[in-house]
Amino acid sequence: MAKVSQAHLDARRRSILDAAAKVFAEKGVAAATMAEIAHEAGISPGAIYRYFPSKEDLARGCMEGSAEAVKAAWQHPEQVETDFRTLSRATFAELERSGADADTRLLLERALVAVRDADAALVEEFGAELQRIVRGVAFLLRRDFGARLEGLDVEALAQALYSFYWGARFVRLMAPDAVAPTRQLEALQALMEAAFSVADRESAGTER
Amino acid sequence: MAKVSQAHLDARRRSILDAAAKVFAEKGVAAATMAEIAHEAGISPGAIYRYFPSKEDLARGCMEGSAEAVKAAWQHPEQVETDFRTLSRATFAELERSGADADTRLLLERALVAVRDADAALVEEFGAELQRIVRGVAFLLRRDFGARLEGLDVEALAQALYSFYWGARFVRLMAPDAVAPTRQLEALQALMEAAFSVADRESAGTER
Amino acid sequence: MAKVSQAHLDARRRSILDAAAKVFAEKGVAAATMAEIAHEAGISPGAIYRYFPSKEDLARGCMEGSAEAVKAAWQHPEQVETDFRTLSRATFAELERSGADADTRLLLERALVAVRDADAALVEEFGAELQRIVRGVAFLLRRDFGARLEGLDVEALAQALYSFYWGARFVRLMAPDAVAPTRQLEALQALMEAAFSVADRESAGTER
Amino acid sequence: MAKVSQAHLDARRRSILDAAAKVFAEKGVAAATMAEIAHEAGISPGAIYRYFPSKEDLARGCMEGSAEAVKAAWQHPEQVETDFRTLSRATFAELERSGADADTRLLLERALVAVRDADAALVEEFGAELQRIVRGVAFLLRRDFGARLEGLDVEALAQALYSFYWGARFVRLMAPDAVAPTRQLEALQALMEAAFSVADRESAGTER
DNA sequence: CATGAATGAGTTTTCATTCAT
DNA sequence: TATGAATGAAAACTCATTCAT
């Protein structure tokens, strides 16, 4: 079986990650066994170790790739041809796709592990990403709503929206039958529009 | 050493639960060992089994009691002398107290376990509580803001606020240096007030 | 099985060490399995870990106790009521006792491991002991034979005798049917006496 | 790639043996891995199995060939133009060459393995070689020192010298900073000469 | 012939649970 | 009742060996 193509190796690596993600999401990282992951991936337990040096590394590997276009868009909103409403909707639509819940499980697990082990790197990364995204949210809010945000703590609002996103993910995971994330988002956006139209009116009044 | 009082037994049970909650929050249920919990509780490993038949049961036991006054208030708002703003603030203030993060960890862990094991009872309980609280939030919103909610999806808004609460908990756990939950809440409330004042104006205008 | 007496624990620890020493000597540290040692000691594999944190520690534990009165005597010859001949004989007589070969195996194994892993501590210890013993040998040589050592490199001679001791151990292990260590020692001592009587004669001649 | 010359095959076999000897000496047989040996030999793990059916066989193969000119000289002293002093010195000089310690490790390992597995063949071989060499030593002692050995147990002395040789090897391995083997040998030879000069004197006195 | 990916049995170690004291 | 030593069933991981390419 020598001299297998790189593509084949990559595919196998991928299949191990997929199998692991599935099993981890199902049972949690701690309860999942390498044997089960191997079985799921259709290989022998030993083979995994040619691709990942340890269970922990495998878990880390699973946690990484869930990066997405959406995430990037929030972090660099100036480079993207979009607006707050659209991007928000795309972000929440993502949560409705199949597999989103499994990702959420994995991400929560990852988060817990990071906090527990005081895994500085992971925690830091989370914090850094948070900051970038919150900054992106604030940027879009200001660009899209401008002066109408007058008197509002935009930073805090952006952070609140970020929190809301995670909460929606979590709640959806726990209670799929509750109000859907997208509908929650609609409600919030309606609220925001109502609030901003006040500003419009007021400034209109001022102009008069 | 015979015939120990029931009170004593209950106290010991309680102390085991406290110890377990602490260790579970620190290390996670899977990584926590009975020996460590026993040590934390100041008893021997074997003694735990007089009170809980298994580690799993102990974990379940930990997961139950995190009920609080605030929670009750949201679930039965009609019985409580309070209003939305006040109760919200009290709720978020709770998140700033020391120990709140440990609770969050435990709750997240609990949630993950419940989802994984398809622990119908726990999931159901979470869902039921969610429903009661969201209903309570909606009740308070309507009572406090009444007609000004015109045109808004109050159910969805209540649900969004509930999501926001969980997200704020989670984010605070992961990134204690981010914008504080209470400040996030202030921002949202400012937004709500702005939105509702529109309604006031409009209705005022209509009356004219 | 709680509250077992310290004596019992010590005895168990001892029995584990004995079992381990036996198995290690038979199979070598690497090839020996904890399961086999446990079986030999009449306990379960897990129980060993209450007494020794790892296989390596167990091996180290086996290697330690082979300290002996004889060794101490060589290292502190001034404190002991003995002479070179007597102590040499006692030392080599030790090699003929049953179990000596097993000790030799263990010591060689220990030595190889130490050298391989560049286990500084162990190597250093060996070197330090060597120095102390060689110094002791030289001390006794000088005290017992005094001026008759004139012209000899006593340090080197002492070191040579130390080497001889180890070589005799090793050869006996490998070829039990070869000339016995004690007889080898006799031959060397005869040689020494012959050499020293020369000195006597010469000094006698000088006096004339 | 068909029909490779026998010479090529032999060379490859040789290179595998060399690589294995190096790795075995460094890590010990048990800890050495076929992968590492293969890497050291510059081939693939699988290829080794074309030349040696198993790791054990490979180890055995390594253990065989450490024969040397010096060894041969001791075993057949009558065929060699040399004397005890010269040959001794040559023998001990060998110990100072670089690589001697690696050989010693391997030999000790070999010895331990042989004793452990009760590998009759290897043990027997060691014993037989020992006997031949001790006989050779005794032969040279008698030839070189003749009557002056009167009263000495020459067999035992020869055996003692053989033991000394091994001990010196071992000690040098463990404590390179101790007195050098050659200096030890000098001391012993000085002792022998002193002893033998007695005999000279005595016989001289008798003649008078 | 060589390669090196894959296998899978075997090893150390952990820890929930039991039970003699 | 409490203790804590002991159990023994996993689980992660290693590596000699095989065999498709």
Predicted confidence (pLDDT) per residue in C147-173, tens digit: 888 889 999 999 999 999 999 999 999
CB-CB neighbors (< 8 A) of C177 in chain D: 127
Q: Which residue of A has its CA nearest to B111?
A: A174
pLDDT at C15: 94
Chains that touch C (3 or more CB pairs under 8 A): D
Per-residue pLDDT at C3 exceeds 70: no
Closest CA to B102 of A109, A165, A112, A173: A112
Q: How far apart are CA C130 and CA C132, in angstroms?
A: 5
- Tokens 């001592």 belong to residue: C189
Cβ contacts from C onto D, under 8 A: 207
Contacts 24+ apart (CB under 8 A), B89-97: B89/B182, B89/B185, B91/B165, B92/B165, B92/B168, B92/B181, B92/B182, B92/B184, B92/B185, B93/B182, B94/B68, B94/B70, B95/B168, B95/B169, B95/B172, B95/B181, B95/B182, B96/B180, B96/B181, B96/B182
D44 CA, E1 C1': separation in Å? 12
Q: How far apart are CA B39 and CA B164, in angstroms?
A: 38
Any idea which of B120-124, C169-173, D139-143 has the lowest mean pLDDT?
Answer: B120-124
Predicted confidence (pLDDT) per residue in D97-137, tens digit: 878 888 888 888 888 888 877 777 778 888 899 999 999 99
CB contact under 8 A, C168 and D168: no
Q: Which pair of structure tokens corresponds to residue B2?
A: 């015979």
Q: Which residue of D has its CA nearest to C131?
A: D178
Residue C5 CB lies within 7 Å of the nucleic strand E: no
Query: If contacts are CB pairs under 8 Å, which of residues 104-163 in chain B contact chain A?
Result: 105, 108-109, 111-116, 123, 126-127, 130-131, 134, 151-157, 159-160, 162-163
D118 CA, E4 C1': separation in Å? 36
- Tokens 């005799």 belong to residue: C168
Per-residue pLDDT at D199 exceeds 80: no
Predicted confidence (pLDDT) per residue in C109-155, tens digit: 888 888 887 777 778 888 899 999 999 999 999 999 888 888 899 99
Q: How far apart are the first and last CA of chain D?
A: 83
Residue of higher predicted confidence among A208 and B163: B163
Note the pTM of the prediction, 2 decimals. Answer: 0.78
Q: How many CA atoms lie within 13 A of C67 on its CB side?
A: 11
User: D150-183: string of b/e by CB count within 10 Å (b at 16+)?
Assistant: eebbbbbbbbbbbbbbbbbbbbbbbbeebbbbbb
Mean pLDDT, all residues of chain C: 87
Residue B55 CB lies within 7 Å of the nucleic strand F: no
Nucleotides, chain E, CB distance < 7 Å: 1-21
Mean pLDDT, all residues of chain B: 86
Q: Do chains A and C touch (3 or more CB pairs under 8 A)?
A: no
D117 burial via Cβ count (<10 Å: 0-12, 13-18, 19+): middle
Mean pLDDT, all residues of chain D: 86
D48 burial via Cβ count (<10 Å: 0-12, 13-18, 19+): buried
Confidence of residue C208 (pLDDT cuts 50, 70, 90): very low
Average pLDDT estimate for B72-96: 89
Of D26, D115, D134, the CB nearest to C173: D115
Q: How far apart are CA B111 and CA C192, in angstroms?
A: 84
Q: Which residues 3-42 in chain C have a CB closer than 7 A to strand F?
A: 3-4, 9, 12
